[in-house]
Structure 1
C-alpha cells in the first residue's frame, strides 16, 4: 500500500449498528472550531499558558499515536516511509490543516528522521486570529504539533518532537514546522521536550510507549514477510493500468517490439491481460490505424478453424456457398491476434507455419496463393515449450511464433497492481462510488486470484451491485473471497517442526508460489539460488 492510495472516504465510515462515525475501529466525536476555541480559552484561564499548552499537546500526541496504529491495522504499507507519508494525505480530512512543501530525510533502519514542511489553514492559528485579534508572541499550534509528534513516534520507534518554527498566529503567512528525534534537538532540548515531560504525564506516556512497542514488534514481523519494492505511480497506457515493476517491464518490452513487424508470442495464465497487451502493441505500432482482428483458436471447432484462418472457395465443402477470405487476409495491413494458439491441431499448425514462412496462404479448395500483410501476435495460457517437449506442438512453429516472447506474470505476483486495478474497475462502473473499506483492501491484496484480472474485475462488479452506493464491505464480496484464507503458519508449523525443517517447508512453499521458478523464489526469499537449493535439500534434524 502506498500513501497516495489512501482515500479518506474509505477510512472514515459509519457504524451500522449505532450510527457512530468511525476511524477504523475507533469511535469519533464531532465538534466545532468555536467549541475548541472556548475550551482552549478556559484552559489558559484556569491552568495558565504553559500548562494549557501541555494539555493540548498531550491531547494531540495521544491522537497521533492512535491514528498511526489504526492506519497500520487497516493497511499493509509497502514501507515505513509510505506509512510516514500517509499523515500528509490524512491531515486535510481531519480538518486540522493542509500540509505542503514537505522535505523528508528518513532512515528507519538507523531510526533517523528530519521532516520539514508548511501548514496552511491551521485551525489553531485561525482560532487565535478570529477570537483574539492580535498577534501571538509564540506559536499556538499545540494540538497539531502533538498529533504529528505522536504519529511519527509510532513509526520511528522512539520519541519524535515536532517544533513549530513560525506560526500564522504570530503574523507570518503560514506555519512552518520541523520534526526530529528528541535527542537531535541541540540548542535547548529540555525546553523543546518540556511539553511532553510534565511529571503528571509520565506514567501515562510510559504506558502508551509500552503498548506502542508491542504493536511495533507485530508490525515488524509483518514487514519481514513483505518484499520491499520501489514502486512508482500507476500508469495507464492504451488501457493497461499498472504500477508493478514486473508489468512495467512487460510494457517497456512491448513498446520496443511495437515498431517492428516481428511475430510476438504473449504467454500467461488465463485472465492476465494477454489481449490487452496485444492491442497495446498494435496501437503503438505504425499499424495502429489498421484493423485489429482477434480470433480465439479454442472457441472455433477444429473442422472450421482452417477455413476461418485461410479462407475457402465456393463449393470447397458442403456449406461453402460463397468465396470467403480468411482472417489472415481480412486483417489487411493490420494485426491478427491468435489467442489460445496451443489449441490448434497438428495439421493446421503445419499450414500456419507455411503461412508465416512464405507470407501467403492458400484458401481451401483453391490452387492460387494469396499474400498476407498482417502482423501476427499469438497468445497461449499453456506452456508451449513444454507442449513441444510432449510432442503436442510443433517445434518449428514455436520458434517461428516466439520471435519476441512476452511472459505476463499472474496477478498474485504483482500485488501492487491489485488495488489500483480494483479502483479502476469500480470507477468505470460508478466514478462517484465511495470505494472499499480497509478490510476489503487487505483481503483483496491477500487473496491469490486464480482467475487473475478477469476474476478481480468480476469480483468488483459483483460487490458493486450488492453495495448499493455504500462503501464495499466484506459482506459484499463473493463467497470464494469472503472466506478467511487458511493460516499459512498452521500449514508450515502446526506440528512444531525443528527450525531446519521449518525453513525447508517455507522454501518449498515459496517455490510452489513461483510455480517452480527457483530464481524467482530465491529473489523473493532474499537468498542466492545456491542457498535455496541447500534449503530444499537439507535433511530434517533428528
Structure 2
C-alpha cells in the first residue's frame, strides 16, 4: 500500500553500494547547481527557443516514466491516489513544492482541467542565477514533467502551460493543464511530436559537425594514399586510376593544348578531340 503520510520511509540508502532506492527503483541525488550548469550550456549552445523544446520533451518523458514506475511500485487504492502521488513525491526529490488550486477530471466524459502552483522551483532559481529575469516562463522541465505524468495517469495527452513564473519576475509559478485538443498554440502541441521538424533543426548543427569530421577523416586518408603513390614513383596511370576509383568519377589528364595524356573511366577522348569532332559534325557538306 502507498503510505502518503510517511513518504520518506520508501527512500533507502545502501552504504555498501552507494545506491539510493525508491522501493525497488534506483534513484540518484544530483545537485541543482550541476543541473543548472547543464541547462545553461544547453541554452548557450542552441538558443533559448530550441533549448525550451528539448527541456519540455525531457520533462515530459520523465513524467511519463515516473508515473509508470510509481504505479508499478505501489498498490494505489484509487486512480485519484495515483494522480496525487506524483506531486507528493516531488516534495522528496526537492524539485518543487506543489499546491493544487483546482482539479477536475472525468474518464467517462474526457473532461480534464487542473490549475495549481509550485513553489521553490529549482529551475526558476537556476535560470535567474545564470540569465536573470526572462520575458516568459522558464520552468520547462517541470512543465513537461507534470504534463507527462498527467497524460500517463489519464490515458490521454495532457498539455501543461505555465502562466506565471518566478523566472520572469512573478511572485510564484502558476500552471494550467488541459487536454491537448483544447490548446490552440502550435508550440504546445509540438510537445507531443517527438519527431517534429523542430527536433530535426535542433540536431542539424551537430549532424553537420559530424559529417564535416567524417569528410575530414576521408580527406586525410586520401592524401596519405596519394602521397604514398607519389613517393613510390608509380606510373601516371596508377595515380589517375586511384583518383578515379576513390572519387568514383571518370578522370582525364590533358596537356596545355587539351591533348589526352591519360584517362580513367568514361573519359576516352581529350577535350581537343571532342572540340574537333563537334566542329567536324557542324561543317557543311
Same fold flag (TM > 0.5):
yes
Pairing partner for 2:163 from 150, 160, 165? 165
For 2:30, the equivalent position in structure 1 comes to: 31
Aligned residues between the structures = 199
The CA deviation string for residues 464-509 of structure 1, in whole angstroms up to 9 with x for no partner, is xxxxxxxxxxxxxxxxxxxxxxxxxxxxxxxxxxxxxxxxxxxxxx
The CA deviation string for residues 177-214 of structure 1, in whole angstroms up to 9 with x for no partner, is 011111122xx2422122342426999xxxxxxxxxxx
**TM-score (normalised: structure 1):** 0.35
How many Å separate the matches in 2 of 1:132 and 1:176?
A: 21
Contact 1:65-1:147 at 8 Å conserved across structures: yes
Contact 2:190-2:196 at 8 Å conserved across structures: no
Unaligned runs of 5+ in 1: 204-542
How many Å separate the matches in 2 of 1:196 and 1:51?
A: 15
Q: 1:6 to 1:74 in 2, by over 3 A?
A: farther
Q: 1:5 to 1:26 in 2, by over 3 A?
A: closer
- For residue 173 of structure 1, report the CA deviation from its aligned partner: 0.3
**Alignment pair present for 1:156 and 2:145:** no
Q: 1:24 to 1:56 in 2, by over 3 A?
A: farther
Contact 1:141-1:167 at 8 Å conserved across structures: yes
Q: 1:130 to 1:155 in 2, by over 3 A?
A: same
The CA deviation string for residues 410-432 of structure 1, in whole angstroms up to 9 with x for no partner, is xxxxxxxxxxxxxxxxxxxxxxx
**Alignment pair present for 1:49 and 2:31:** no
Contact 1:124-1:141 at 8 Å conserved across structures: yes
SS at match of 2:89: helix
- For residue 96 of structure 1, report the CA deviation from its aligned partner: 0.8
How many Å separate the matches in 2 of 1:83 and 1:202?
A: 33
SS at match of 1:105: strand
Contact 1:24-1:71 at 8 Å conserved across structures: no
For 2:141, the equivalent position in structure 1 comes to: 143
For 1:195, the equivalent position in structure 2 comes to: 191
- For residue 145 of structure 1, report the CA deviation from its aligned partner: 0.7
How many Å separate the matches in 2 of 1:144 and 1:8?
A: 20
SS at match of 1:106: strand
Q: Which has the higher contact order (CA 8 A, sep 6+)?
A: 2
SS at match of 2:112: strand
How many Å separate the matches in 2 of 1:54 and 1:191?
A: 9
**Superposition pairs for residues 110-125 of structure 1, below 5 Å?**
110-125=109-124
**Cα RMSD between the aligned structures?**
2.4
**Superposition pairs for residues 56-75 of structure 1, below 5 Å?**
56-75=55-74
For 2:173, the equivalent position in structure 1 comes to: 175
**TM-score (normalised: structure 2):** 0.64
- For residue 12 of structure 1, report the CA deviation from its aligned partner: 2.1
Unaligned runs of 5+ in 2: 200-285
Q: 1:30 to 1:168 in 2, by over 3 A?
A: same
**Alignment pair present for 1:40 and 2:36:** no
For 2:228, the equivalent position in structure 1 comes to: none
**Superposition pairs for residues 33-432 of structure 1, below 5 Å?**
33-133=32-132, 135-185=133-183, 188-199=184-195
How many Å separate the matches in 2 of 1:17 and 1:150?
A: 34
- For residue 151 of structure 1, report the CA deviation from its aligned partner: 0.8
Contact 1:119-1:174 at 8 Å conserved across structures: yes
